[in-house]
Amino acid sequence: MLKKRIPGRSAKRMISIPPATLAIAQRWLVDHVLRYSAVHPASFAFHPECSPVQAAEQHPDTKWLLKVDIEDFFHSVSEGMVSEIFARLGFPKLLAFEFARLCTIGLDRGQGKNPAPHSGPIADYAHAYEGMLPQGAPTSP
């Protein structure tokens, strides 16, 4: 885990660099699954067919450009949300859950910010915290 200072602020952003074996699995998911999933038509980031220029071209009469950095955006994307994305891509629920576990990290986010731990039929899947999307992994653009 690496903490990086955000330019112009006193806060730090958490960057998660996965271990090599996990990064290989995440890269496989990107190359063999996520690359072929449909991109939302309003998205102009993080895929090769689009660019910031194309995004700006969608608003030719706009006088102002607003640049926004959403605090803890990646960490607001939960393991459950990631699992749902894989399920919508047609994967069975268990495989969607396992893919989500490969893409997320379970960290203590502080009092009141952790979903209640839940138990399931597979003891090895138990975790004290619901995972969140880390910034810095191959599966997190």
Helix, strand, coil shares of the chain, percent, nearest 5, are 35, 10, 55
Range of the domain at 95: 21-37+67-141
For 60-89, write each residue's pLDDT tens digit: 888 887 777 777 788 888 899 999 999 999
Highest mean pLDDT among 10-24, 79-93, 101-115: 79-93
Q: Average pLDDT, whole number, for the chain?
A: 81
DSSP label of 58:
T
Residue 132 lies in a domain: yes
Phi, psi of 55 (to 5 degrees): -65, -45
Q: Is 82 exposed, middle or buried (0-12, 13-18, 19+ CB in 10 A)?
A: buried
| pLDDT reported for residue 129 | 76
Position 117 scores a pLDDT of: 59
Q: CA-to-CA distance for 136 and 3, rounded, in angstroms?
A: 11
Euclidean distance between the first and the last CA atom of the chain, given in angstroms as a whole number: 17
Output the pTM of the full model: 0.76
Provide the pLDDT for residue 25: 95
Residue 134 lies in a domain: yes
For the chain, the domain total comes to 1
Q: Is the dihedral of CA 138, 141, 30, 129 positive or negative?
A: positive
Residue bearing the bigger pLDDT, 9 or 68: 68
Q: Are 141 and 27 in contact (CB under 8 A)?
A: no
